[in-house]
A and B are shown apart, each in its own frame.
Chain A
């Protein structure tokens, strides 16, 4: 039996190795040919080197978009983090385009209609850089549309609040504070987190649902203070990030000093961590499909 497991493992390794060398066009299996020059939806993500997480988050969003628009569009992938792109190339032989490479690939393929949909949470520096880069190529396409990040309109915020509270409903037992850990940024877009808290408050969850950030404000200390004020004895921590990567595993749920889990425990709370990225939530995936739809409509 053990030999069977090993054979399966080796087989999957070979399959993994073979697929990992493929290009970033996830439509290849459909047998589309270059002559058709189909329009393209380029899904742009920060990226992650955690393979299984990537598949469950970024991959899941891409698949949802592909399910919705794959008959008409090629759905392609690009990452904005060159560090992650390089790491995946050297470690896994997995080649992923950065935004410029993906745009150039579209040009080389003769693509005339391009929709760019980011999987960013907010309009921060990553999104700004992506938009700026795409705009430099604007004259290379007959039709170009850039989608918006997850939290852009008031309705986006309301939808997000409903999703964030729905997926943690089973923890909301009257003695639990539910704390979402966002990334945070020095970019003015950091106001997004405070805005989201406002919508959380408006929806009537403000006494037990709190939105913090790991690198900006609101801070961990702010979150501990809010949890103290709530009078609840238990805290559930969950990342407010598309991917549950290093920040979720280490900064949020790590056992070391300074992690959110440790610091909440030091304050005496019972702490439970849910290490699932927003990208794993079907309703969040659907929001990105809607945003893609809006971007297509704007062509």
Chain B
């Protein structure tokens, strides 16, 4: 598996070489164009020869994965419009929205120098695409049919944008991330079995060649529906059915249900209420998870995060190990978020529709912290911890701050610990001298009475005292024992 990267890059190299060769031989080109050297030249995924003199600066991308990858490549400023359902990264929502279901004139009027689509759009709206082409605007259709095609797709996209160097770095990192996950999960002997629900209608799963199926493989899981047949040839959706799930009820360790706009499985309530589904091992043991299709079924650089999520569902103790934090370092809020996420096995928070950006949850809007950006290393842990309600943040006017470098106090820790579990109601035991200095005295009283955090020799809680990373972990372990 170390070789995911090598294999992919080799395939990409050979394909690129072949494409270059085809282009150079000018199979569909006039003699004049053969002689002309283009800065950008490749065959897109509908077989169209793409020749451009310079990289694109005014792109409209009509597929959410294109939008996401453009931003990852650092070319967000070369995009003037995105697809209506593109919801990541958060700043992409600031761009104008376009859809192939709308009027081509609005796109033509925006004067893009390239319209990025995928073959699905051409089959759905051929006249729409023809109109754009007739206006003299280059239309480029890209879509990787398989996981193996991902690097080829990214390289074509990068060449359109003049971001080849960035693509090389990102692809290397992408496959290293996947290798890192596989290195860990491949060493686990007791493999977990998983059922992946892609739609709740007829309880469909995914085909063996799909990206989610590949993700289960990399995450070290055994796909109980590995023999499921695609609904139609080439489809990632496969038939499976209620009967097959129930017949395998005793063997399904983990149940993953995809959520999103395109394909959505059920949630824990709707799945468990299906007749017979309460007999499924994963349902009985509470190992049911919803996973965003954007993370697992979409050809983006975030795919490895979806793979890592599946690995976390399958092997939580291994994947969420906090051993590296068992030290006397003072705990800052960024680390605090990561510890919260791992200790509580919180699912990675990722919006599945644009409504998450319009919905403010008590002062916070996903991706809108002034001091935490979507491409920061700690972004996912911070958003996940905040959305779980376990980590505090600050609102100043209309702006939101997380303050990732701020150090965690005992006061702050007490609130998080209290939210992690439902504590039994009990009479007051301890007399806390400085209770009046605590931000929420009731919480501190309960945390102390339940012996999660202790008082000093003088009977003080010391709410402003900074805690170490190990102290955070030790206290959380005590709370988790009460659950």
Which residues in A have some Cβ–Cβ distance to B below 8 Å?
2, 5-6, 8-10, 12-13, 15-16, 49-52, 90-91, 233-234, 249, 255-259, 262-263, 265-271
Contact = CB atoms under 8 A, between A and B. Distances in A.
Given A258-B362, A262-B389, A13 B415 contact: no
Contacts of B419: 262, 265-266
B440 A9 contact: no
Contacts of A8: 276
B389 A91 contact: no
A52 B201 CA distance: 18
B11 to A, nearest CB: 39
Nearest to A269: B442
Nearest to A259: B389
A257 B273 contact: no
A268 B415 CA distance: 8
Interface stretch (B41-49, B240-248, B313-321, B458-466): B240-248
Given A6-B279, A12-B275, A50 B269 contact: yes
A52 B273 contact: yes
Nearest to A271: B422
Contact of B389 (A6, A234, A258, A268): A258
Interface of B: 200-201, 242-243, 246-247, 249-250, 266, 269-270, 273-277, 279, 361-362, 364, 386-389, 415, 418-419, 422-423, 425, 440-443, 446
A256 B387 contact: yes
The 5 closest A-B pairs by CB, nearest first: A9-B276, A268-B442, A257-B389, A258-B361, A262-B389
21 contacts: A2-B279, A5-B279, A9-B246, A9-B276, A13-B243, A13-B274, A50-B269, A50-B273, A91-B201, A91-B266, A91-B270, A233-B425, A255-B388, A256-B387, A256-B389, A257-B386, A257-B387, A262-B389, A263-B362, A266-B389, A270-B425
Contacts of A233: 425, 442
Contacts of B266: 91
A132 to B, nearest CB: 28
A257 B273 CA distance: 26
A8 B418 CA distance: 42
Nearest to B418: A265
Contacts, number: 84
B282 to A, nearest CB: 15
A51 B267 CA distance: 13
B441 A255 contact: no
Contacts of B201: 90-91
A6 B266 CA distance: 21
Contacts of B243: 10, 13
Contacts of A16: 275
Given A2-B250, A6-B246, A50 B276 contact: no
Contacts of B440: 266-268
B273 A10 contact: no
Nearest to B278: A9
B423 A10 contact: no
A138 to B, nearest CB: 38
A234 B269 CA distance: 27
B242 A13 contact: yes
B418 A268 contact: yes
B269 A249 contact: yes
A268 B276 contact: no
Contacts of B276: 6, 8-10, 12-13
A145 B274 CA distance: 37
Contacts of B441: 268
B343 to A, nearest CB: 14
A13 B425 CA distance: 42
Contact of A6 (B247, B361, B388, B442): B247
A271 B424 CA distance: 10
B442 A49 contact: no
Give the interface centre of A90, A91, A249, A257 by most chain B CB atoms within 10 Å: A257
A51 B273 contact: yes
A269 B422 CA distance: 10
